[in-house]
């Protein structure tokens, strides 16, 4: 108990904390940001490597030659899709049956909480069609999934074609140890969620679908494919899943290895790797890639259909074929060979992928940053909060009681020793009530809103969100004056409130960083300076501006602008605002449809905490 | 419990499956009350709170009388006026104790989860009430019930005995005849009630099956489902032939502190009771948050020690952080598959260390206050400079 009970050591530590607090905080914050920026420096990040022994090398002899067949299937699918005006269920069933697969279809329906403007849907009905290729000599205990979305218009036809060609090729091989499920899902994520829920016999969201389906055992890995052109110039891989969950790094390594073997160009975040790594443009490039990944992970949106598999502990990635203006093009056969290689390697798996990292950041496709390396950046930011907490705790201890020779002993605030503490309860209640209102009212109150204002439902929801958010800032902050009669007790009041708010913020960010590091880091980087500096004493306009800049909504807006900058398609102010409104609607929809926790966390956790700091700022 | 009831209805011994490890009295209690399960658990929590309220009310009176006696006997140093407790500050303590228990998030969680720990807590609360009221018979009966349900309240025999001896003004000297006489009486009452309850259980189910299932289970820790205790990880990692040795070591740890604490705290049996309950809830083989809620309910009784507590802020932060991280890391381990048991056990370790430091902090603060009461607040070294009390 040396450090905690030895009085001399304690006194030295508390003196250090009290005197050097601001310089230490600034240093810690700068160190945190600097550490994060240093993550993008390529030589510091280790190369990716294959950890799983069973998936060792890329030594398979791919013999897929049905590129032309894939294209003809694609054209047939496109024709039938246009004729059916949606998913050509009967044609798909017949084709898969002729290929020798065990075909099942799953109708599903879902009514969205409010109409989705970007995809123009409200009451969704669809059908998923999937065929199971049973392994010839195995017991059907494990399965792999190749999923292809059925999208409107001319998109993803070639993906369906390639999938069918692969199915016909795979059917003729005898080495499959796991069943392979070829899934065509309608309405992208909605259909995928319906299929996954029915497959695992759970009911997490309120999708209504038919009951028992043909099953093939526990799914070990899944690949979602999106191809919209006859030839591709490169393949883009997307890893971020729902709530920022990432697949095992080995799956990415597998993809990278096979792309290199077959000579396919592969990109991540749409960016190609640069071979020179010690120049400034290369550093900027890898920083761009890293930031894009952080922003994508922080939003908690799945970047492809694979994102929903991760929740069920199924490793999955999405592969997108890109047809750009490069000269060298790859045909379907090469793509098919790559996929064949990947599936054959996945077939060799003895157990679920667990050897490699689950938490990582990717500055490029061949370099990764593991959790042990990127967590200290977040640790430094939380250190700022901890320094501030100990500062305020020590200040309170010494302001409260003048101890003789025993050193400061910060007491736990209990009613009998702190009569002014009751003044803190109203601000806490009001802030949390505002958070609850922000979470519940928009969707529940959209009917009322559309009756009284000439807006559509989704606009009503988004505008209600913004209205409640801004209204929270204007709520009465002077309840303490009514209760405690102002004067002497109020100084202690705002200090204790700030202490509680700092504690709440540190706790929330800490728990969040474990679940979704990018979101935790982003919120910490923006909220920590404003939270640490908020006080009723000091230049109020400056602090108020800083606090407004730190609020989660403004962070979202700035993040949208930053993302468009990084994608080299900068958005103007009006466009950015439209994107912001769309993002708000999307966030709410994702929460209700797939169970994303970004929306409830911001509404019930980050926003009340921020409102507490706003209260502290306007205490006097 | 539901499984046990199902097996009982089928006419098979409830202990033949591997899940049911509660005592026969519990199973018969729930046989009649299973439809009202939520109500039962709410009522048990309310009963515990009421019992604690009445117990602490009486205890405060005893404390105040003792303090008055010591002041009159001039046992206190002259400058300790600010350490003396007044009836005014002690007035709201029983209410706070009851509220601390009822409003504790751990109690609420326990009630919602319908954990039978709530019944344990009720029995222990009634035992404390009976002890403070001075009725040796009721105290022995409730202690026997508590021991019958989970083995560890056996260690509460010592503080209860010390308190009853103090109440009867029997000095605790090893040579005194009245001391041994009273001890024998109390022990006899306790053992007889325990034997009666065990025999009653035997007649309820017509077999001795419940003894290995209940007590053997508690002592030999066969089920290694992760919980907030310290046992499961060790025994999951350990080799088979060492497990007996380590089981003995871990179990002795619970009972080990009773004698030294009894020697040190023989003048303050209620504090001893508090520390003992805390030690049971930290070191028992299958702790739950309901056990923690019980000893935390006593914290307002020692609120006069706040000025001597050194680390209460850090420790309460540690406990809150760990309680919040428990579900996060459980989710990451079991549902997301990204973490593993090491993460969860790290939080378990930190949580238990936080609790241990909390108890030792209170212990140190208590002893410091006693020292100051008898030696004065401003301590001076022999050469006249100011001295400070340090725990070595």
Question: What's the pLDDT tens digit per position in A154-164?
Answer: 888 999 999 99
Contact A221, A283 (CB under 8 A): no
- The whole-angstrom separation of Cα A92 and Cα A186 is 12
Quick one: pLDDT at residue A477?
Answer: 66
Q: Which of A85-99, A102-116, A470-484, A538-552 is the least confident region?
A: A470-484
Confidence check: pLDDT of B79 > 90: no
User: What's the whole-number mean pLDDT along residues B377-385?
Assistant: 65
User: What's the whole-number mean pLDDT along residues A411-419?
Assistant: 41
Instruction: Render pLDDT for A276-318 as a digit per residue (tens, 0 to 9).
Output: 767 788 888 889 999 999 999 999 889 888 989 998 889 999 9
Beta bridge partners of B386: B380
User: What's the whole-number mean pLDDT along residues A450-467?
Assistant: 84
Contacts of B296 in chain A (CB under 8 A): none
Contact A469, A553 (CB under 8 A): yes
Which residue matches tokens 């393949």?
A235
Instruction: Render pLDDT for B43-74 as a digit per residue (tens, 0 to 9).
Output: 999 999 999 999 999 999 888 888 888 888 87
Beta bridge partners of A116: A121
Nearest to B150 by CA among B109, B110, B119, B176: B119
Name the band, by pLDDT with cuts 50, 70 and 90, for residue A420: low
Alpha carbon of residue B271 to chain centroid: 11
Instruction: Render pLDDT for A244-273 as a digit per residue (tens, 0 to 9).
Output: 899 999 899 999 988 888 888 888 888 887
Q: Which of A257-271, A421-435, A496-510 is the least confident region?
A: A421-435
Task: Give the orientation angle of helix A7-19 with respect to helix A371-400, to 10 degrees.
Answer: 100
- The whole-angstrom separation of Cα B48 and Cα B277 is 15
| Number of other residues whose CB lies within 10 A of the CB of residue A250 | 24
Whether residue A404 and residue B338 make contact (CB cut-off 8 A), yes or no, is no
Beta bridge partners of A321: A235
Quick one: pLDDT at residue A410?
Answer: 38
Confidence check: pLDDT of A9 > 50: yes
- The β-bridge relationship of strands A121-133 and A234-238 is unpaired
Confidence check: pLDDT of A379 > 60: yes
Nearest to A161 by CA among A47, A72, A66, A248: A72
Whether residue B306 and residue A354 make contact (CB cut-off 8 A), yes or no, is no
Q: Provide the mean pLDDT of chain A.
A: 85
Name the band, by pLDDT with cuts 50, 70 and 90, for residue A488: very low
- The whole-angstrom separation of Cα A321 and Cα A302 is 18
Quick one: pLDDT at residue A53?
Answer: 77
Candidate ranges A537-551, B24-38, B78-92, B117-131; pick with highest mean pLDDT: B117-131
Option in A5, A406, A411 nearest B306 (CB)? A411
Name the band, by pLDDT with cuts 50, 70 and 90, for residue A413: very low
Alpha carbon of residue B208 to chain centroid: 28
Sheet holding A179-186, edge to edge: A208-209, A102-116, A121-133, A179-186, A142-150, A218-226, A315-322, A234-238, A266-268
- The whole-angstrom separation of Cα A363 and Cα A43 is 11
Does B107 or A449 have the greater pLDDT score?
A: B107
Quick one: pLDDT at residue A402?
Answer: 43
% of chain B beyond a pLDDT of 70: 92
Q: Provide the mean pLDDT of chain B.
A: 84
Contacts of B223 (CB under 8 A, 6+ apart): B18, B217
Q: Which of A244-253, B82-91, B262-271 is the least confident region?
A: B82-91
Does A547 or A207 have the greater pLDDT score?
A: A547
Confidence check: pLDDT of A467 > 70: yes
**Is ipTM strictly over 0.85?**
no
Which residue matches tokens 């009853």?
B164
Instruction: Render pLDDT for A519-567 as a digit per residue (tens, 0 to 9).
Output: 999 999 999 999 888 888 878 888 888 888 888 889 999 999 999 988 8
Shortest CA gap B191–chain A (Å): 40
Confidence check: pLDDT of A416 > 50: no
User: What's the whole-number mean pLDDT along residues A49-65?
Assistant: 81
Q: Radius of gyration over alpha carbons of chain A, in Å?
A: 28
Quick one: pLDDT at residue A406?
Answer: 39
User: What's the whole-number mean pLDDT along residues B307-323?
Assistant: 87
% of chain B beyond a pLDDT of 90: 21
Nearest to B305 by CA among B66, B85, B104: B85
Which residue matches tokens 């157990």?
A351
- The whole-angstrom separation of Cα B146 and Cα B276 is 14
Option in A358, A393, A409 nearest B309 (CB)? A409
Is B316 within 8 Å of chain A by CB?
A: yes
Does B125 or A406 have the greater pLDDT score?
A: B125
Confidence check: pLDDT of A412 > 60: no
Is B314 within 8 Å of chain A by CB?
A: yes
Quick one: pLDDT at residue A118?
Answer: 83
Question: How many contacts does A have with B, using Cβ atoms within 8 A?
Answer: 83
Q: Mutating which of B306, B347, B358 best tests the A interface, going by the most A Cβ atoms within 10 A?
A: B306
Contact B122, B48 (CB under 8 A): yes
Beta bridge partners of A364: A367
Whether residue B364 and residue A5 make contact (CB cut-off 8 A), yes or no, is yes
Torsion angles phi and psi, residue B23, rounded to 5: -80, 160
DSSP annotation of A410 = P
Quick one: pLDDT at residue B192?
Answer: 93
User: What's the whole-number mean pLDDT along residues B76-101?
Assistant: 81
Is B307 within 8 Å of chain A by CB?
A: yes
Shortest CA gap B325–chain A (Å): 6
- The whole-angstrom separation of Cα B359 and Cα B281 is 11
Contacts of B92 in chain A (CB under 8 A): 416
Give the pair of three-digit tokens for residue A274.
């640069």
Confidence check: pLDDT of B11 > 80: no
Judge residue B109's burial from the number of C-beta atoms within 10 Å of its C-beta, 0-12 exposed, 13-18 middle, 19 or more buried: middle
Whether residue B337 and residue A354 make contact (CB cut-off 8 A), yes or no, is yes
Name the band, by pLDDT with cuts 50, 70 and 90, for residue A239: very high
Judge residue B316's burial from the number of C-beta atoms within 10 Å of its C-beta, 0-12 exposed, 13-18 middle, 19 or more buried: middle
- The β-bridge relationship of strands A121-133 and A179-186 is antiparallel
Quick one: pLDDT at residue B386?
Answer: 60
Contacts of B386 in chain A (CB under 8 A): 405
Whether residue A411 and residue B307 make contact (CB cut-off 8 A), yes or no, is yes
Instruction: Render pLDDT for A192-202 as a digit per residue (tens, 0 to 9).
Output: 999 998 898 88
Is B88 within 8 Å of chain A by CB?
A: no
């Amino acid at each position: 108990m040396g450090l905690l009970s030895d009085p001399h050591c304690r006194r030295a530590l508390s003196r250090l904390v009290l005197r050097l607090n601001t310089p230490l905080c600034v240093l810690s914050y700068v160190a945190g940001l600097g550490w994060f920026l240093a993550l993008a420096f390529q030589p510091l990040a280790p190369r990716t490597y294959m950890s799983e022994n069973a998936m060792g090398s890329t030594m398979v002899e791919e013999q897929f030659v049905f590129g032309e067949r894939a294209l003809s299937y694609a054209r047939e699918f496109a024709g039938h899709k246009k004729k059916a005006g949606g998913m050509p269920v009967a044609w798909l069933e017949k084709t898969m049956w002729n290929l020798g697969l065990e075909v099942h279809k799953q109708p599903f329906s879902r009514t969205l909480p409010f109409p989705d403007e970007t995809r123009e849907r409200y009451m969704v009905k669809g059908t998923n069609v999937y065929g199971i290729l049973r392994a010839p000599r195995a017991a059907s205990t494990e399965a792999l999934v190749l999923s292809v979305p059925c999208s409107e218009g001319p998109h993803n036809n070639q993906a369906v074609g390639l999938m069918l060609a692969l199915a016909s090729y795979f059917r003729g091989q005898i080495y499959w140890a796991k069943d392979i499920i070829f899934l065509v899902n309608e309405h992208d994520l909605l259909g995928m969620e319906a299929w996954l829920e029915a497959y695992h016999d759970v009911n997490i969201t309120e999708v209504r679908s038919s009951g028992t389906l043909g099953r093939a055992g526990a799914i070990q890995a899944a690949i979602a494919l999106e191809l919209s052109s006859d030839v591709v110039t490169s393949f883009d891989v997307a890893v971020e899943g729902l709530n920022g969950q990432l697949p095992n790094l080995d799956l990415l390594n597998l993809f990278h290895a096979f792309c290199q073997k077959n000579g396919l160009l592969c990109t991540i975040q749409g960016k190609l790797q640069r071979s020179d790594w010690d120049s400034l443009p290369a550093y900027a490039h890898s920083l761009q890639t890293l930031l894009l990944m952080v922003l994508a992970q922080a939003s908690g949106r799945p970047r492809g259909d694979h994102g929903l598999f991760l929740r069920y502990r199924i490793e999955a990635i999405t592969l997108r074929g890109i047809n750009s203006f490069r000269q060298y093009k790859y045909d379907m056969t090469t793509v098919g060979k790559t996929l064949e290689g990947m599936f054959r390697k996945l077939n060799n798996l003895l157990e679920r992928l667990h050897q490699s990292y689950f938490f990582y950041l990717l500055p490029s496709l061949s370099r990764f940053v593991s959790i042990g390396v990127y967590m200290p950046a977040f640790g430094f930011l939380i250190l700022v909060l901890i320094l501030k907490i100990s500062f305020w705790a020590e200040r309170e201890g010494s302001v409260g009681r003048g101890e003789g020779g025993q050193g400061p002993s910060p007491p736990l605030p209990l009613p009998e020793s702190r009569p002014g503490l009751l003044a803190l309860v109203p601000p806490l209640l009001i802030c949390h009530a505002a958070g609850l209102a922000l979470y519940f009212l928009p969707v529940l109150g959209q009917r009322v809103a559309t009756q009284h204002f000439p807006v559509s439902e989704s606009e009503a929801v988004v505008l209600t969100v913004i209205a409640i958010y801004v209204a929270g800032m204007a709520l009465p902050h002077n309840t303490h004056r009514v209760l405690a009669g102002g004067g002497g007790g109020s100084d202690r009041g705002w200090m204790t409130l700030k202490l509680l708010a700092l504690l709440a913020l540190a706790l929330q960010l800490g728990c969040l960083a474990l679940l979704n590091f990018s979101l935790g880091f982003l919120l910490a980087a923006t909220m920590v300076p404003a939270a640490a500096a908020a006080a009723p004493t000091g230049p109020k306009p400056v602090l108020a501006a800083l606090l407004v800049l730190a609020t989660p909504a403004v962070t979202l807006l700035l993040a949208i602008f930053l993302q468009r900058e990084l994608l080299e398609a900068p958005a103007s102010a009006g466009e950015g605002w439209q994107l912001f409104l769309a993002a708000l609607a999307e966030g709410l929809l994702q929460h209700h449809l797939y169970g994303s926790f970004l929306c409830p966390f911001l509404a019930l956790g980050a926003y009340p905490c921020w409102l507490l700091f706003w209260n502290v700022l306007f205490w006097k | 419990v539901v499984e046990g009831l199902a097996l009982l209805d089928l006419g098979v011994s409830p202990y033949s499956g591997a899940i049911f490890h509660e005592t026969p009295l519990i199973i018969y209690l729930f046989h009649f009350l299973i439809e009202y399960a939520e109500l039962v658990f709410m009522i048990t929590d309310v009963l515990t709170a009421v019992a604690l309220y009445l117990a602490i009310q009486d205890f405060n009176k005893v404390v105040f009388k003792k303090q008055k006696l010591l002041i009159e006997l001039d046992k206190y140093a002259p400058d300790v006026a600010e350490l003396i407790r007044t009836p005014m500050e002690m007035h709201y303590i029983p209410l706070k104790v009851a509220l601390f228990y009822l409003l504790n998030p751990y109690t609420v969680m326990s009630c919602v989860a319908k954990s039978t720990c709530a019944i344990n807590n009720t029995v222990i609360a009634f035992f404390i009430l009976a002890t403070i009221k001075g009725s040796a018979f009721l105290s022995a009966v409730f202690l026997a019930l508590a021991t019958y349900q989970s083995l560890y309240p056996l260690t509460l025999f010592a503080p209860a005995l010390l308190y009853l001896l103090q109440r009867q003004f029997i000095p605790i000297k090893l040579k005194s005849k009245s001391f041994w006489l009273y001890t024998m009486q109390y022990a006899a009452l306790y053992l007889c009630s325990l034997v009666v309850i065990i025999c009653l259980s035997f007649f309820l189910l017509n077999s001795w099956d419940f003894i290995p299932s209940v007590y053997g289970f508690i002592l030999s820790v066969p089920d290694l489902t992760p919980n907030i205790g310290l046992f499961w990880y060790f025994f999951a990692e350990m080799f088979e032939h060492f497990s007996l040795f380590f089981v003995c070591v871990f179990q002795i740890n619970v009972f080990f502190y009773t004698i030294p604490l009894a020697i040190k705290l023989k003048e303050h049996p209620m504090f001893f009771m508090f520390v003992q309950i805390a030690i049971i809830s930290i070191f028992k083989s299958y702790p739950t948050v309901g056990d923690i809620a019980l000893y935390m309910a006593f914290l307002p009784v020692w609120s006069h020690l706040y000025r001597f507590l050194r680390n209460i802020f850090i420790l309460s932060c540690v406990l809150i952080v760990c309680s919040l991280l428990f579900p996060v890391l459980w989710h990451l381990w079991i549902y997301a598959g990204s973490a593993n048991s090491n993460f969860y056990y790290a939080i378990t370790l930190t949580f238990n260390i936080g609790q241990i430091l909390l108890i030792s902090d209170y212990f140190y603060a208590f002893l410091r206050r006693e020292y100051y009461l008898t030696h004065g607040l401003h301590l001076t070294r022999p050469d006249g400079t100011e001295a400070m009390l340090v725990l070595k």
